[in-house]
Structure 1
Amino acid sequence: MSHRRIAVVADSDTRWKWGASVARQLAPEHALDAVFLRGRSTPTERQLAEVGIEPDTRREATVAELTGDKELAAADLVVLAVAGGTVLALTHALGAAWEGRERRPITVSGYVGVVYEKMVDGLLTRAGTDIVLANSAYDAARFARAFDSVGVDPESVVECALPFLTGEPHRPSPDRPFTVTFAVQPSVPKDRSARLHLLERAARHARRHPDREVLVKLRSLPGEQTTHVEADPYQLLVERLSEPAPDNLRLVYGNMAEVLDRTDLLVTVSSTAALESMHRGIPTAILTDCGVREAHGNHYFLHSGCLASWDDLDAGALPMPRPEWAAAQGIGRTDPYAAARARLAELRALPHLPPLRPYYTTSSAGPYLLPILTRHGLDEKGNPMPAATPAATGGVRGAVRTAARRGAKRLYRVGHRRVAPALRRWGSV
């Protein structure tokens, strides 16, 4: 095992997948430490197994606890695979904790998927980390321009690609039926009627094409949390179909790359699974049934040539991305992390790394920054606040926590009594 270590701080299964995949691209020879932040979306054992990347060590912590974490401070690299506000809090906290050290870890931040909204919001919270990864040439250019305009070093932006754009090129197989995979999302679309419509159309497609297998690729069990909250799981909506689901419609879990191994047409509203599919040369449809809208994120694919409705797919459409659009998204690149590894080598060669300097400070944006620090248990200097007293946990906060616990128990009962039997009926992977 390598004496060098790379730590990934993650707050959900999706961000762990991104952070761990980035770690493997940046430093495949390093030992991998997983640090999961305690919270609503801390990944479960099942979710971690589905990602398929096993860390050498793993533990849970809060942001405040990480300020005194000696193992984290001893890492060579720290990948912050968390939301933008948490990156900002960690940059303050770790910057304060590592101040004056002769050597400190190199910090890396970035985005789990495509950046189709709140670009400035997310980018400026990540400013101050040593490297900010951009998943395409398009993102790298606009990130660097934004940093330069506010006085942040644009050299911290490094172009790469989504780290899970891997896998073998698509090859249809005569040994299995043509397989359509509908990659669902927890919160896109949010409306129950829209989600049920998409499921109805998947079922109708299966009925119209009995020679095909239609897979509904699920993200999480009801009660499990991921980056986004899922109010109406497809596992329950399948019971509301206007007609019984056909035999060739199946609900499946599993690692997305493994599901794509047997997929001949990927269908989604705006999941990053679309980019994985395109990278492997699999026909990919970005659904228009619920509109092409910023709220759904499918507007990002406007120029891809892959927008299609279920009616189009019923009629036999097999969309493929336009080459120029795909190239701009980093699709099809070989060794897209070479520039990031080169940047790491430059930083390692410095006699001393500069202190971590977030863009937002108490003097430049106190009313914005202070609530973020407080929410993560930090004071205005990024130091841990005293632990909450028992009295402080009562009142409204206590009531909220009690309600959350009760809600979690209800979700578990729903999953146990209703979803598990449904999955046994429809089949799962």
Structure 2
Amino acid sequence: MNRLQGREMAAIACFDSFGKTAMAMLSVCRKEGAGTTLYLLEIQGRRLSRRQLLEIQRIDGRVTIIHQEWQQLRAIRPTLLGLDALILGLDGQRTRELQLLLRADAPDGHWPLTVSAYPGILFRHQIEGMMDRSGADLLCLNSPVDLDLYQQACRALGLPSDNAVVTGLPILWDLHPRRRTSVERPTIVFFEQPSVPGNPLQRHYLCNRLNDLAQRWPDHTVIFKPRTSGVERTLHRRHGEMASRIEKLMRKSPNLQINYKPSLALLRHCGCAITVSSTAAMESMAMGISTRIVGDLGVNETLGNHYFMGSNSVRDFAAIIEDPFTPIHDETWLDRHGRCPHGSDQFVMALADRIAQGRSRPETSGTPGPAGWGAESWQRYALRHGGRRMLTSAGNRSRLKTTQRGKNAVRYLRDLVLGLRWVEDFVRGR
């Protein structure tokens, strides 16, 4: 049944995780008969590597991909306005920016139906991110827990929340428990994250514990999966690389290795997946693989592992080393935090219904942005005194930042010259 036959769909995405999520959603739309295009709008300093592009393309090679710079967004706006639906695979600020542009180009409300989704688990700035996306005609949430939080926020503001639907994590839609084949020597994989943990000493500690794990299980390959490869480090920000430390430890433990293959490829032969708080843990659990969330550094929002508190998978390395291969995660928790057995079908059904009905949430005439961004009086005040950047950043950026640059430069020069205490005392005549 082609529920989207003849419809034209597109997605705009920045960053690899958003690109994968947008491609997964477009792939489902294409199979339902829609014409599909993915616009990968890259951001200066955060360019996608060849490996990341290939991983996105592998999800569905029949979806058209167009590469452009984010600065070229204005040039494709006429094309976007002719679509039936537009998927926003963007962070909160750029989601706001695009919605403002669509409203500016089509003030009568005749812009495409907009869809927004999250590429991974929500563990920081949850309500802020939801409100950034609250103007979407269809807001795809990962779990009933997220839906409840969104509904609470909308009730507090007196807003409808009927644009939200639980579809689960799109990256889990096609994942099923792996067959219990007799893998003679399953691997153990640690999935690195770009900025977690943030402290160099913590990262050093984790590397040492991985080495201890490798020495305890010499017949099993212990794989360190870096977030980026050596070549990609020249294209992306570096957040404290652990791979160099692992390379040194590999001399002591021959079964400790570094592998840059895609996460799913590594999980197919994996007996235990370890991470601090990566979304790879959700993929591992969905495949029925033994999963461990590192608890040695504590459980908190900075690490993001607080999201997994109820999953029964948080363990310290001593327990991981003792028994890495027994699945211990709570299946009920997984169903309430990202796995949705019929998520793709719910997504298509909700999308087809909204396209057929037209925009069911009438926009307030002349309002700069959706009500979830704040009162109309505030939005107009923000635009008048802080410009579009003030409104798209939810007030986190303003002209005040620009006016402080001169003062910051003076402070930098002062600190450079007066950095030594005795020099400062001498100059001040103390």
> Fold conserved (TM > 0.5)?
yes
For residue 36 of structure 2, the aligned residue among 17, 25, 32 is 32
**Residues 1-20 of structure 1 mapped to structure 2, 5 A cutoff:** 4-20=7-23
Residues 271 and 290, structure 2, Cα contact 8 Å, conserved in 1? yes
- Map of 1:414 onto structure 2: none
Residues 274 and 291, structure 2, Cα contact 8 Å, conserved in 1? yes
Counterpart Cα distance in 1 of 2:391 and 2:71 = 6
State the SS of the aligned residue for 1:155. coil
- Map of 2:152 onto structure 1: 145
Deviation at 1:50, TM superposition (A): 2.7
- Map of 2:215 onto structure 1: 207
Q: TM-score, normalised by structure 1?
A: 0.79
Deviation at 1:227, TM superposition (A): 12
State the SS of the aligned residue for 1:99. coil
1:360 aligns with 2:364: no
Residues 36 and 60, structure 1, Cα contact 8 Å, conserved in 2? yes
- Map of 1:167 onto structure 2: 175
- Map of 2:47 onto structure 1: 42
Q: Which moved more, 1:297-306 or 1:355-364?
A: 355-364
- Map of 1:118 onto structure 2: 125
RMSD, aligned α-carbons? 3.3
- Map of 2:334 onto structure 1: 326
Counterpart Cα distance in 1 of 2:99 and 2:214 = 49
Counterpart Cα distance in 2 of 1:228 and 1:371 = 30
Higher normalized contact order (CA 8 Å, seq sep 6+, divided by chain length)? 1
**Residues 92-107 of structure 1 mapped to structure 2, 5 A cutoff:** 92-100=100-108, 103-107=110-114
Residues 206 and 212, structure 1, Cα contact 8 Å, conserved in 2? yes
Residues 167 and 257, structure 1, Cα contact 8 Å, conserved in 2? no
Deviation at 1:263, TM superposition (A): 0.9
Q: TM-score, normalised by structure 2?
A: 0.79
For residue 247 of structure 1, the aligned residue among 230, 254, 261 is 254
**Residues 414-429 of structure 1 mapped to structure 2, 5 A cutoff:** none
- Map of 1:410 onto structure 2: none
1:290 aligns with 2:294: no
Change (3 A) 1:78 1:136: same
**Residues 373-392 of structure 1 mapped to structure 2, 5 A cutoff:** 373-374=388-389
Residues 278 and 320, structure 1, Cα contact 8 Å, conserved in 2? no
1:133 aligns with 2:144: no
Change (3 A) 1:260 1:112: same
Deviations 1:165-208 (A, max 9, x none): 13342345445522111111011101112112112211221121
Unaligned runs of 5+ in 1: 379-394, 400-429
Deviations 1:31-66 (A, max 9, x none): 332222331323122211133234413121336733
Deviation at 1:371, TM superposition (A): 5.5
Counterpart Cα distance in 1 of 2:303 and 2:316 = 15
- Map of 1:22 onto structure 2: 25
State the SS of the aligned residue for 1:292. coil
Change (3 A) 1:175 1:372: farther
Counterpart Cα distance in 1 of 2:237 and 2:157 = 33
Residues 7 and 34, structure 1, Cα contact 8 Å, conserved in 2? yes
Counterpart Cα distance in 2 of 1:209 and 1:322 = 25
Identity across matched positions, percent: 27
Counterpart Cα distance in 1 of 2:214 and 2:222 = 6
Unaligned runs of 5+ in 2: 394-404, 410-430
> Aligned residue pairs: how many?
380
Deviation at 1:377, TM superposition (A): 10
Counterpart code for 2:297: C
State the SS of the aligned residue for 1:117. coil
Residues 40 and 65, structure 2, Cα contact 8 Å, conserved in 1? no
Counterpart code for 2:243: Q
For residue 266 of structure 2, the aligned residue among 259, 267, 270 is 259
Counterpart Cα distance in 2 of 1:360 and 1:309 = 41
Residues 47 and 235, structure 2, Cα contact 8 Å, conserved in 1? no
Counterpart code for 2:36: L
Counterpart Cα distance in 2 of 1:88 and 1:233 = 32
Change (3 A) 1:126 1:63: farther
For residue 302 of structure 1, the aligned residue among 301, 309, 314 is 309
State the SS of the aligned residue for 1:300. helix
Counterpart Cα distance in 2 of 1:10 and 1:284 = 29
Change (3 A) 1:310 1:118: same
Larger Rg belongs to: 2
**Residues 148-227 of structure 1 mapped to structure 2, 5 A cutoff:** 148-165=155-172, 166-174=174-182, 176-222=184-230, 224=232
Change (3 A) 1:95 1:365: closer
Residues 63 and 377, structure 1, Cα contact 8 Å, conserved in 2? no
